[in-house]
């Protein structure tokens, strides 16, 4: 299963992402990239790919896919305007309409997007309708307990559970998480829309989670900066030579070792669920 990228490739990814997004987001996105590359041979498929909730499309600048084969849909016009320079992107609501109605996709990737879609049943129905026979769906979704991770939250959960639950609720509310389900629940939900789950993994380790929590406050500031100015302040790091970023590169490389864990693991902050389209997609 393991087809993790070479050290040089990972270093290039880290350099690229630290110049694009805040460190907490870098850790999450790089972990997903590593996880996806680890299972890529088992997923297969060389045809068109649909990225659901594609954001600015930066992900695809690091993966070995031709940009003309990658399509993206997102509800945010500002994000799509940036993604359009990297992939074929359009504004759309997956819960209302089938994206790119003339195309059947061999791969569909939801990079932590479907948990934000309130009408999940309509979204899964539309995704199934645009899937080619035997298409693979790869979902990254938060684990049920992700907001209770971290030393502070674990301590509060033992001694002041109401406060811990209020903090977890604030996190999920801020990120607009409508759906926090276990893997068996996702499996049942997907099966109702003719998706058969073939594999499920957990993402996360104590090291990556520690760094994510450490850099989360500064990342909130960067998020607000992007809300006002349209991009993260990290873009200024393009002026910084690679050598100056060496401590950060080494720190992230250390934290990102072993991106996949069993989905039952208490350290799993996300699930990666792989499903195959079955039956008639109409």
How far apart are the C-alpha atoms of 158 and 151, rounded to whole Å?
A: 11
Where do we find the tokens 């690091």?
62
Predicted confidence at residue 258, as pLDDT, reads: 84
In this predicted structure, the answer to whether residue 4 has a pLDDT above a threshold of 60 is no
pLDDT in tens, 28-39: 999 999 999 888
Predicted confidence at residue 205, as pLDDT, reads: 87
Tell me what the pLDDT averaged over the chain comes to.
91
In this predicted structure, the answer to whether residue 201 has a pLDDT above a threshold of 90 is yes
Mean pLDDT of 70-80: 95
How far apart are the C-alpha atoms of 112 and 271, rounded to whole Å?
A: 10
Exposure string of 216-238, with b = 16+ CB inside 10 Å and e = fewer, is beebeebeeebeeeeebebeebe
Mean pLDDT of 153-173: 95
In this predicted structure, the answer to whether residue 21 has a pLDDT above a threshold of 60 is yes
Distances (CA, A) of 268 to 25, 226, 261: 16, 28, 7
Predicted confidence at residue 5, as pLDDT, reads: 64
CB 105 within 8 A of CB 131: yes
Predicted confidence at residue 281, as pLDDT, reads: 61
Predicted confidence at residue 7, as pLDDT, reads: 78
pLDDT in tens, 255-280: 998 889 999 999 999 999 999 999 77
Collapsing DSSP to helix, strand or coil, 38 comes out as: helix
CB 139 within 8 A of CB 110: yes
The residue length of the chain stands at 282
Distances (CA, A) of 217 to 26, 28, 154, 212: 14, 15, 18, 10
Domains of the chain: 7-144+180-277 (3.40.50.150), 145-179 (no CATH)
How far apart are the C-alpha atoms of 147 and 40, rounded to whole Å?
A: 28
- Token pair for residue 76? 């945010």
pLDDT in tens, 136-145: 999 999 999 9
In this predicted structure, the answer to whether residue 64 has a pLDDT above a threshold of 80 is no
CB 56 within 8 A of CB 37: no
Q: How confident is the model at residue 173 (pLDDT cuts 50, 70, 90)?
A: very high
């Amino acid at each position: 299963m393991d087809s993790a990228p070479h050290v040089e490739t990972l270093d290039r990814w880290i350099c690229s992402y630290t110049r694009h997004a805040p460190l907490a987001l870098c850790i999450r996105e790089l972990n997903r990239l590593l996880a996806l590359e680890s299972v890529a041979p088992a997923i297969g498929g060389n045809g068109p790919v649909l990225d659901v909730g594609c954001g600015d499309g930066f992900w695809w600048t690091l993966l070995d896919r031709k940009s003309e084969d990658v399509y993206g849909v997102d509800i945010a016009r500002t994000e799509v305007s940036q993604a359009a320079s990297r992939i074929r992107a359009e504004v759309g609501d997956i819960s209302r309409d089938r994206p790119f109605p003339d195309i059947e996709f061999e791969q569909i990737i939801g990079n932590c997007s479907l948990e934000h879609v309130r009408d999940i049943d309509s979204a899964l129905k539309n995704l199934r309708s645009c899937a080619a026979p035997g298409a693979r769906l790869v979902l990254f979704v938060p684990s049920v307990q992700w907001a209770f991770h971290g030393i502070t939250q674990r301590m509060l959960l033992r001694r002041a559970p109401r406060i811990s639950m209020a903090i977890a609720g604030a996190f999920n509310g801020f990120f607009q998480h409508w759906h926090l389900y276990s893997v068996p629940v996702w499996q049942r939900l997907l099966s109702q829309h003719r998706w058969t789950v073939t594999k499920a993994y957990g993402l996360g380790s104590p090291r990556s989670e520690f760094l994510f929590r450490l850099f989360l406050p500064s990342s909130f500031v960067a998020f607000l900066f992007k809300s006002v100015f349209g991009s993260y302040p990290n873009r200024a790091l393009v002026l910084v030579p690679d050598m100056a970023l060496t401590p950060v590169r080494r720190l992230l490389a250390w934290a990102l070792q072993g991106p996949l864990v069993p989905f039952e693991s208490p350290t799993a902050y996300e699930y990666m669920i792989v499903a195959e389209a079955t039956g008639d997609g109409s």
